[in-house]
Structure 1
Amino acid sequence: MARLNSRLNYQTARFLISAPTLAKCPADDGAEVAFAGRSNAGKSSAINTLTRQNALARISKTPGRTQLINFFSLGDNLDRRLVDLPGYGYAKVPESVKLEWQRHLSDYLQRRASLKGLVLVMDVRHPLSEFDQTMLGWADAQEMPVHILLTKADKLKRGPAASALQQVRSRLREWEDLVSIQLFSSLKGQGIEELEARLDAWLLGPTEA
């Protein structure tokens, strides 16, 4: 039976570096998990809730403004990292800039050896956008495991939220070997432990008991 080595303390997360391209990213060793999501899906709020910090991942008043790949180390351990990928969707930028973001995201997802998993953040009321499906396609091509956070679950009552969760699971049944899904609410703190368990599995890896 497999078990985890130990639990990581996500409250120790601290900013490490911002990189505009794959070439500027930290050394490609250790293990990291990346967070991706369409602008306004609640990605920054989810990272802040996970780490119990109010402003680790900055929440921009202009969604989609951040164009950098942001790295956070877990305490002084530079071999375990969280990564905040740039989101887009509502950003008032030229199409050429959006295509550039897409190219950098593609490079990162396809070539980053230390990337162990992708947390894909979606608003529970508007899941599986074109951006989400593009990210899932990239992950599928790389056989990269994906954990979907259906955020803002507090905006729906329990029944509709459970129904939305089941609908997304049904639509992604063909990817069930790579994709796991949960409800999450930054406002209520819902789903933190489930997210931590998934990140622990990716960042620490199982060992034989």
Structure 2
Amino acid sequence: MDRCLYCNQSLEHGATLIELLINHDVLCPMCRHELIRNKKKFIINNIPVDACYIYNDFFSSLLVQYKDCMDEALKSVFLFNHRMIFHVKYWGYTLVPMPSSKDKIKDRGFNHVLGMFEWCKNEKYCCLEKTSNQKQVTSTSIQRQKMIGNIRCTKDVKHIKKILLVDDVCTTGSTLKGALEALSSFEGKIKIFVIATHPLNLKKVVR
């Protein structure tokens, strides 16, 4: 019997009759229901941002288990139910992931953001690099603002027509602002997609 990739319960655990008939998820319904879907866009530097979920305790624990406990099998759970819509909405965009420090990637043995989008057929282009290893979770608001200038573009992007910046979580938006600054000379179209957003960001909602 197939089991939930997070709680290891049966995929039928907590399922309704309809879910039993149509469910093809990798999370059981009990875990999937803990993820709070987001239906609103918010703005960073005048660019609307799409986010699948609202960042909550369950999403945090899922993310920690994936990237800090190096449970790479969880990479498919975050966007499992969004893949078809994602392919249609962002067809033709080149995915540019937010950078992790080289030390973190070396410790984990994988790039956690790229892993979340491994299923996606869009071209992926890792052209951004952090110039500082300062963690956002341990940074003050002033330090986070300084992080905006701590990202640089290390590759030519002239051949790209449309960029989709992707990240796991948007908290203050400083990393994404830094990426936009690093790509300020890019003349094509840029969109932003994050898997989860802090609820405070939804105060800057696009109707």
TM-score (normalised: structure 1) = 0.33
Structure number with the higher strand fraction is 1
Asked which structure has the greater RCO (Cα within 8 Å, sep 6+), the reply is: 1
